[in-house]
Amino acid sequence: MSMLQELGAQLRATSDELPTGLVTVAMERLRSATELLNWVRQTSVDPIGVPQLGNATEHAEHAAAALRLAQDAIASYLAQIGLSGESQGGDANRDWRSGLEHDDSDKVAPPPGDEDRQPPPERLGPWWQRRVEQLTNEAPPQNAENGNGGAGGKVGTTELLRRVATRVRSGDRASLGRDLHGVNAATGLSLSAAAGPVLRRLAGDLLGHDPRPEDLGRLRTAVSGRVRSLLPGISPAALEQVLTRTCRAKAPEGAQSHPADSAVTSSVVAGVLLARLGRDAATLDPSAPEPLPRRGDDRAVNGADA
């Protein structure tokens, strides 16, 4: 190996080790928490930490942007010295795994000495199930009405995302509703953070390049019909919010939706994009081989529903 090739290898290794995925997941989780607190704040005169979370989210966004800028600079330098062909790809090829690999939504560490005790049941009430019913028009099963997730309460967010993708591919709205009803609110709300990087990766594969603000209309056309058929109670603002973030476009002024809407919509959009690409839910396993790259299907992006 020549000195130039060794330098290129070291630079690529440095780029790959930058924690873009972890920072992106942290940013999505902060954003989800901010949405939830904003929703609660509507019935309270106390800001209850929303400004502080907003500042933390902004810092995470700046950190993620700085990491992407560093990776782009490394890729540009490698191209200038003739080693661009050996690059492993941009952040979209790696970051989508981060939220799926660090699914700790149901793993709360017990206090010292209480390792064998079961955690108390969730006390948020059945508001998650009520919102899922509004979105899917599917009533919760009897064992989900206590708000604790019923028999499926131990399902983690990553597994839930794969189940949703399976239901979306088959068009089975009844089963989609049962899967969403069968988890507690904490697991369901975590779908936003897990699905965010996945959406950028899948949208990039469909479009043939990383999604940009100018791709918002094409992406909206590709997914909106299928999403509305599976979520007849979804508001246009909730879907627009998810697609805007995926394309890193400017959000409409005053746009705000229920936090459960964002979580459910993100997971369903991920399932629709998987169907467009002809992939099944197993490809959302972070240990699965990297899917083969392909150019976006213009017919799928611009036209008919799958």
Residue 117 in domain: no
Q: What is the pLDDT of residue 123?
A: 54
Q: Is pLDDT larger for residue 79 or for residue 28?
A: 79
What is the mean predicted confidence (pLDDT) over 269-276? 96
Indicate if 158 and 234 belong to the same structural domain. Answer: yes
Indicate if 49 and 127 belong to the same structural domain. Answer: no
Indicate if 56 and 198 belong to the same structural domain. Answer: no
- Name the range with the highest mean pLDDT among 65-74, 177-186, 252-261: 177-186
Please determine, for residue 25, whether its predicted confidence score (pLDDT) is greater than 70.
no
pLDDT band at 274 (very low <50, low <70, confident <90, very high): very high
Q: Give tens-digit pLDDT for 181-194.
A: 999 888 888 888 88
pLDDT band at 133 (very low <50, low <70, confident <90, very high): very high
Give the CA radius of gyration of the chain. Answer: 20
Report the C-alpha gap between 205 and 183 in whole angstroms.
30
Report the C-alpha gap between 54 and 30 in whole angstroms.
8
Range of the domain at 60: 1-94
Question: 234, exposed or middle or buried, with CB in 10 Å at 0-12, 13-18, 19+?
Answer: buried
> How many structural domains are present in the chain?
2
Indicate if 38 and 128 belong to the same structural domain. Answer: no
Indicate if 144 and 278 belong to the same structural domain. Answer: yes
Q: Give tens-digit pLDDT for 222-243.
A: 999 999 999 999 999 899 989 9
Q: Is pLDDT larger for residue 73 or for residue 302?
A: 73
Report the C-alpha gap between 158 and 103 in whole angstroms.
6
| Token pair belonging to 271 | 């399932």
| Token pair belonging to 45 | 């005169």
Report the C-alpha gap between 242 and 234 in whole angstroms.
12
Secondary structure in 3-state letters for the chain: CCHHHHHHHHHHHHHHHCCHHHHHHHHHHHHHHHHHHHHHHCCCCCCCCHHHHHHHHHHHHHHHHHHHHHHHHHHHHHHHCCCHHHCCCCHHHCCHHHHHHCCCCCCCCCCCCCCCCCCCCCCCCCHHHHHHHHHHCCCCCHHHCCCCCHHHCCCCHHHHHHHHHHHHHHCCHHHHHHHHHCCCHHHHHCHHHHHHHHHHHHHHHHHCCCCCHHHHHHHHHHHHHHHHHHCCCCCHHHHHHHHHHHCCCCCCCCCCCCHHHHHHHHHHHHHHHHHHCCCCHHHHCCCCCCCCCCCCCHHHHHCCCC
pLDDT band at 294 (very low <50, low <70, confident <90, very high): low
Residues 6+ apart with CB under 8 A from 175: 167
Of 73, 94, 115, which marks where a domain is finished?
94
What is the mean predicted confidence (pLDDT) over 254-267? 82
What is this structure's pTM?
0.69
Q: Give tens-digit pLDDT for 68-107.
A: 677 677 777 777 777 665 444 444 455 666 656 655 444 5
Q: What is the pLDDT of residue 110?
A: 54
Q: Which of 40-49, 74-83, 191-200, 283-292 has the lowest mean pLDDT?
A: 40-49
Indicate if 128 and 69 belong to the same structural domain. Answer: no
Residues 6+ apart with CB under 8 A from 51: none
Quickly count: other Cβ atoms within 10 Å of residue 22's Cβ: 16
Residue 112 in domain: no
Indicate if 201 and 271 belong to the same structural domain. Answer: yes
Q: Give tens-digit pLDDT for 144-173.
A: 544 444 444 478 888 999 999 999 999 999
pLDDT mean across residues, the chain:
75
Residue 109 in domain: no
Indicate if 5 and 149 belong to the same structural domain. Answer: no
| Token pair belonging to 136 | 């899917």
Q: Are 187 and 150 in contact (CB under 8 A)?
A: no
Q: What is the pLDDT of residue 27?
A: 66
